[in-house]
Amino acid sequence: MQALRRGRWALLTALLLSLPGSAQDRIASCKACHGSDGNSTTALVPSLAGQPKLFLENQMILFREELRRSSVMTPLLQGIKDPEIIQLADHFSRLPAKPVAGSPPDKDLSEKGKALGQKLRCNVCHLSSYHGQKQMPRLAGQREDYLAAEMVAYRDGKRSGGDTIMAAALYGVKDDEIRALAHFLAHLR
């Protein structure tokens, strides 16, 4: 299964790299994974719609400079110039974030996640609405699987280009607590 997934991503990356390099072409390639409207329907792929512009710019620069590594994103952003990054970030930041389709929230799990978010003071950087600001991402309504995977990667020191504050904030947080926090955040609007 893992080999099939890697093969699929390698094929998609090769296809996307063959596209001409204008901002509109890059937007089209972004939509292939991040959703036609910037709201991802693909497992472990984040939604870009409604993210703060500065956050998106920073992440693309981190990928381009190989400070944040991804077998898909790094090649796609290799050689991209700052003005095009600004255009892409502006485009996706202006799209409305939409809820991820799926099952309704589990009340007990959401309450546990909400309490953990308050305990960890996530609302200080990501705002009380969890809509993010400046270089801090929007967490509200993000894919649950993506949130959980990224939090585990931060906690375990496996996320490149990451913020040391996030690694410290999640230090010692148990897997079931991360699942609860991801569930709570994914169901926020």
CATH architecture of 107-186: Orthogonal Bundle (1.10)
Task: Tell me how far the alpha carbon of residue 71 is from its chain's centroid.
Answer: 15
Q: What is the pLDDT of residue 182?
A: 98
Domain with CATH 1.10.760.10 in the chain: 2-94, 107-186
What pLDDT, in 10s, does the model give residues 137-173?
999 999 999 999 999 999 999 998 877 899 999 999 9
> How confident is the model over 107-116, as a mean pLDDT?
98
Q: What is the pLDDT of residue 4?
A: 47
> Do the Cβ atoms of 169 and 178 come closer than 8 Å?
no
CB atoms under 10 Å from CB of 7, counted, come to: 10
Q: What is the pLDDT of residue 102?
A: 79
Q: Residue 173 gets which letter from DSSP?
A: -
Percent of the chain with pLDDT over 70: 88
> How confident is the model over 31-52, as a mean pLDDT?
96
Would the pLDDT of 50 be above 70?
yes
Q: What is the pLDDT of residue 18?
A: 45
Distance CA 97, CA 51 (A): 8
All residues at 6 or more sequence positions from 10 whose CB lies less than 8 Å from its CB, including other chains: 71
> Alpha carbon of 69 to those of 10, 12, 26, 125, 171: distances in Å?
15, 17, 19, 24, 22
Q: What is the pLDDT of residue 7?
A: 52
Name which of 16-30, 33-47, 53-67, 152-166 the model is least confident about: 16-30
CA atoms within 13 A on the CB side of 125: 13
Would the pLDDT of 17 be above 50?
no
* CATH superfamily name and code, 2-94: Cytochrome c-like domain (1.10.760.10)
